[in-house]
């Protein structure tokens, strides 16, 4: 989906609309993130217990232009200041993707600037570059391993250079976020289940329920979480349904997922020999997962990189950032409005130089 043009440096607008968040942001190499705005459709979908695709598309239509105006105003920019417009072209819900892609492509055409189609998971993968490195930590640079855990994906990715991604492990059934959401739902927790389940797990006893750590007893880096969900279903069905039991089951489930992910991360680092681990995607906002991996990194000598909580879940900042990197590499997208609801991360074009072209990132 790319062709090569000479990039013009300057602020890049990023638009995210792949699922139930409308995100808009502006990122400029050398200056960092200038502004970002997000509208979450959680309340709209809550009564259905999950995302209703057609409602999602319509809400993106309602919210995208107001958010765009707000973001430009916050960045103190005019629309004519934009050097390029990046947008999530996939994977995701086709109608929702088309809203962002149509607005982005039309705006780029009107402004006569490049448009850049971004893979949603590349956005998640690069999101830690929006942060200043922690004191005493080297800035994030390839090679590294990325654990991408969201509502739709659970992947371990080897990143030799930016843009060049090899999937080391994937889920065979439910994604980690999906497992959180479905498990939460069966215990009557509100949508979206991940954060709700993590919240009640805080008060749970980690020793009350022990669920299995799926696929850790054999070699390999793939995941499978649907059996874990069934174990919780049986435990919940046979329980007294007390709030304290619910919290204990939630804690046992969270421990199982976190430990499983941590075991596979260690294996991926051992297999590649890399010393850096990126954790991103909605489940990357899970505090226990972050704490466990950060502690493992300190003990075992690898460095961990997380986006701030708000940039773990879907957002426009990661798309503006990925757009800036692709623009600096001269990779822009043709005039067609095309989205890819299914899109293999490994099919992306790598950056020839390995240079992100970002300069110093200054978080907003
Ligand atoms: O990346 P994201 O916003 O959207 C997708 O691309 O899927 O991820 C959303 C997923 C949901 O499944 C949500 O329940 C999960 O991330 N999630 C969490 C937490 N916050 C969000 N799961 C566990 N713990 C959390 N704190
Ligand atoms: Zn996502």
| Each residue's pLDDT tens digit, 117-138 | 999 999 999 999 999 988 888 9
Domain-embedded: residue 357:
no
Within-domain flag for 214: yes
Ligand 1 centroid vs 221 CA: distance in angstroms?
Answer: 21
Kindly give the number of the ligand 1 atom that is closest to the alpha carbon of 313: 3
**Residue 14: both structure tokens together:** 């990023």
CA gap 159, 144 in Å, rounded: 5
Q: Same domain for 107 and 78?
A: yes
Q: Note whether residue 355 is domain-resident.
A: no
Residue 356 within any structural domain of the chain: no
Q: Which of 275, 263, 355, 347 is nearest to 89 (CA)?
A: 347
Same domain, residue pair 263 and 172: yes
Is there a single domain that holds both residue 296 and residue 203? Answer: yes
At 259-299, the pLDDT tens digits run 999 999 999 999 999 999 999 999 999 999 999 999 999 99
Q: What local confidence, expressed as pLDDT, does residue 354 receive? A: 46
| Statement to judge: residues 145 and 161 lie in one domain | yes
**Given the structure tokens 């479905």, which residue do they identify?**
182
Confidence of residue 350 (pLDDT cuts 50, 70, 90): confident
Q: Give 284 Cα–ligand 1 centroid separation in angstroms.
A: 8
> For residue range 135-167, what is the model confidence (pLDDT) as tens digits?
888 999 999 999 999 999 999 999 999 999 999
Asked if residue 290 and residue 323 are part of one domain, the reply reads no
pLDDT in tens, 192-221: 899 999 999 999 999 999 999 999 999 999
Q: Do 80 and 6 have their domain in common?
A: yes
Q: Is 181 helix (H, G, I), strand (E, B) or coil?
A: helix
Residue 354 maps to a domain: no
Nearest CA to ligand 1 atom 7: 151
Rounded CA separation 265/261 (Å): 6
32 and 54 assigned to the same domain:
yes
In the chain, what is the straight-line distance between the N-terminal and C-terminal CA atoms, in Å?
A: 31
- Per the prediction, the chain carries an average pLDDT of 93
| Cα–Cα distance for residue pair 133/142, rounded to 1 Å | 14
pLDDT at residue 358 in the model: 53
Give the binding-site residues of ligand 1, using a 6 Å CB cut-off: 19, 150-152, 177, 180-181, 192-195, 198, 281-283, 285-286, 313-314
361 within some domain: no
Answer yes or no: is 359 within a domain: no
- The neighbouring-strand residues paired with 12 are 27, 84
Whether 353 has a pLDDT exceeding 60, the answer reads no
> 243 is in which domain, residue-wise?
136-306
Number of folded domains in the chain? 2
What is the structure's pLDDT at 212?
Answer: 97
Which percentage of the chain shows pLDDT scores above 90?
Answer: 90
For ligand 1, what atom is nearest to the CA of residue 287? 26
Domain membership flag for residue 364: no
Residue 264 belongs to domain with CATH number: 3.30.420.40
* Residues 289 and 317 sit within 8 Å (Cβ to Cβ): no
pTM: 0.94
In this structure, the answer to whether residues 155 and 101 fall within a common structural domain is no
Task: Say yes or no: 75 and 99 in one domain.
Answer: yes
Same domain, 9 and 112: yes
Q: Could you tell me if 152 and 91 are in contact, meaning their C-beta atoms sit under 8 angstroms apart?
A: yes
Spatial CB neighbours of 248, under 8 Å, sequence gap ≥ 6: 204, 205, 208, 209
Strands (E), 82-162: 84-90, 115-119, 144-149, 154-161
- Asked if residue 206 and residue 61 are part of one domain, the reply reads no
What is the three-class DSSP state of 108? helix
Biggest CA-to-CA distance, the chain: 65
Taking the centre of ligand 2 as the mean of its atom positions, its distance from the CA of residue 155, in whole angstroms, is 12
Does 252 have pLDDT greater than 90? yes
Please give the Cα distance from 319 to 199 (Å, whole number). 28
Question: Is there a single domain that holds both residue 154 and residue 272?
Answer: yes
């Amino acid at each position: 989906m790319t062709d090569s043009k000479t990039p013009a440096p300057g602020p890049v607008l990023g638009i995210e609309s792949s699922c139930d968040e409308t995100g808009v942001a502006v990122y400029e190499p050398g200056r960092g993130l200038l502004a970002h705005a997000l509208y979450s459709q959680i309340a709209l979908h809550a009564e259905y217990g999950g995302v209703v695709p057609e409602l999602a598309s319509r809400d993106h239509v309602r919210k995208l232009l107001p958010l765009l105006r707000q973001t430009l105003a916050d960045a103190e920019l005019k629309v004519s200041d934009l050097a390029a417009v990046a947008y999530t072209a996939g994977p995701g819900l086709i109608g929702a993707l088309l809203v962002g892609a149509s607005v982005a492509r039309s705006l780029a055409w009107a402004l006569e600037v490049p448009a850049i189609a971004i893979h949603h998971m590349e956005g998640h993968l690069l999101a830690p570059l929006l942060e200043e490195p922690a004191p005493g930590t080297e800035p994030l640079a390839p090679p590294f391993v990325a654990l991408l855990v969201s509502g739709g994906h659970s992947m371990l990715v080897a990143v030799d250079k930016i843009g060049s991604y090899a999937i080391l492990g994937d889920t065979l059934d439910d994604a980690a976020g999906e497992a959180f959401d479905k498990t939460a739902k069966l215990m009557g927790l509100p949508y979206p289940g991940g954060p709700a389940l993590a919240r009640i797990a805080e008060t749970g006893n980690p020793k009350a329920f022990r669920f299995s750590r799926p696929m850790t007893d054999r070699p390999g880096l793939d995941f499978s979480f649907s059996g874990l969900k069934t174990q919780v279903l049986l435990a919940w069905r046979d329980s007294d349904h007390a709030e304290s039991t619910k919290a204990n089951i939630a804690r046992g489930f969270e421990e199982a997922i976190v430990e499983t992910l941590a075991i596979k991360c260690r294996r991926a680092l051992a297999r590649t020999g890399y010393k850096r681990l990126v954790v991103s995607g909605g489940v990357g906002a899970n505090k226990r997962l972050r704490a466990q991996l950060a502690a493992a990194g300190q003990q075992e000598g690898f460095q961990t990189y997380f986006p701030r909580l708000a940039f773990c879940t879907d957002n426009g900042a990661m798309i503006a950032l990925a757009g800036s990197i692709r623009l600096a590499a001269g990779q822009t997208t043709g005039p067609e409005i095309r989205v890819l609801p299914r899109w293999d991360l490994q099919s992306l074009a790598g950056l020839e130089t390995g240079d992100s072209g970002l300069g110093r990132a200054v978080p907003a």
